[in-house]
Amino acid sequence: MDRSSAVIALVRRHGLIVAFLIFIVLVSANSPTFLTVGNFLDVIRQTSITGMIALGVTFVVITGRFDLSVGSMLTLLTVVVVDQHNAVGPGLALLFVLVGGMVLGAVNGLLIGFIGLNALIVTLAMLSFLQGLTLLYSGGANVNIADAQSWFALFGRGTVYNIPVPVLIFLASAAAASFLLRKTIFGRTVYAVGGNEVATRFSGINSRWTIFLAYVLSGLATAGAAIIMGSRVMGAQNTIGQGYELTVLAGVVLGGTSLIGGSGSIWRTVLGIIMLGFIQNGLLLLGYPYYVQWLVTWFVIIAAVWIDLGAKRGRLFA
């Protein structure tokens, strides 16, 4: 293999990781706090909410579908968990929001998996519906937890041996999701449906149930993120989850999960989310305004999809 072919192969396999490492070197050279332990834990804590959602979305994307409703779902569930905390206490509020997340995911799964509607259209419509439902539920007003000393604060603000509790929840959830995806029959059917849905039907696999359950998991993961969000802020705004769907999707594809379906892993998604978190953190430390993150997120999605398609079709630079 000549040098040019080796370079092309490197870009196909590890192009984004190489670019990320170069970015790390450049930022650390200009910001001495970037590679400190404190900043590292802060970045992981900040990305735990996005990461929780991404765990569920990974299942959906591997099946070859999308879930663009997670941002509005996060908003609604955060408002619900905070409001119900004040009404019935933290214990029942947690139960309500977890069940609510699975129900909302089940609605997406029913429309997409069983009825066969287009995932992009359904989840875009759900995004709008949930945002409207949030405003209807809250009356347009922000909500706050009345008892500032509630144990509910543990999920978003607590620490265990100086490790933030959201980080522990995120990593524990990632381990459980990875086991489900890699070590169970359901996980294998997720890969099979994304790889070749027609073949799975002829193999006796019920692809409809697989897609349905993937969306239920996405809703459950988003409910977990809503608990962390509500606990961290001890309140909720009606737009608190706005834009999260784009950030989640960027982290998933940055981790190497193919938008075509059939390939990807939970730990690669975790890596992608952390990489994106460090990119956003580095830009802030370098003094760039917040909106620059959106431009970088766009670039990350385009670059990741381009490299993924090029690697699969064997014509990256065609």
- The string of DSSP codes covering 289-317 is -TTHHHHHHHHHHHHHHHHHHHHHHT-TT
Q: What is the pLDDT of residues 251-298, one digit of tens each?
A: 898 888 888 888 889 999 999 899 888 888 888 888 888 778 778 777
What CA–CA distances, in Å, run from 198 to 195, 202, 261? 9, 7, 13
Reading the block at residue 235, the tokens are 């309140």
Q: How confident is the model at residue 3 (pLDDT cuts 50, 70, 90)?
A: low
Backbone angles phi, psi at 49, to 5 degrees: -70, -50
Cα distance between residue 167 and residue 155, in whole Å: 10
**Percent of the chain with pLDDT strictly greater than 70:** 91
Question: Quick one: pLDDT at residue 220?
Answer: 98
Residue 237 is which amino acid? Q
Q: Is the pLDDT of residue 313 over 90?
A: no
Reading the block at residue 4, the tokens are 């040019």
Ordered by where they begin, the domains of the chain are: 48-311 (1.10.3470)
Reading the block at residue 239, the tokens are 């737009």
What single-letter DSSP state applies at residue 167? H
Q: How confident is the model at residue 303 (pLDDT cuts 50, 70, 90)?
A: confident
Reading the block at residue 194, the tokens are 């994304």
Pair 73, 241: CB distance under 8 Å = yes
Question: Quick one: pLDDT at residue 165?
Answer: 95
Nearest to 178 by CA among 265, 112, 301: 265
For residue 92, give the H/E element and its range: helix 90-109
Q: 3-state DSSP call for residue 158?
A: coil
Question: Quick one: pLDDT at residue 316?
Answer: 45
Q: What is the pLDDT of residues 111-131, one digit of tens each?
A: 999 999 999 999 999 999 999
Q: Is 148 exposed, middle or buried (0-12, 13-18, 19+ CB in 10 A)?
A: exposed
Q: Is the pLDDT of residue 209 over 90?
A: yes
Mean pLDDT of the region 202-220:
93
Q: Is the pLDDT of residue 10 over 60?
A: no
Mean pLDDT of the region 207-226:
97
What's this model's pTM, rounded to 2 decimal places? 0.90
Cα distance between residue 281 and residue 288, in whole Å: 10
**Most distant CA pair in the chain, distance:** 68
Q: Would you put residue 258 in left (φ > 0), alpha (ψ -120 to 50) or beta?
A: beta
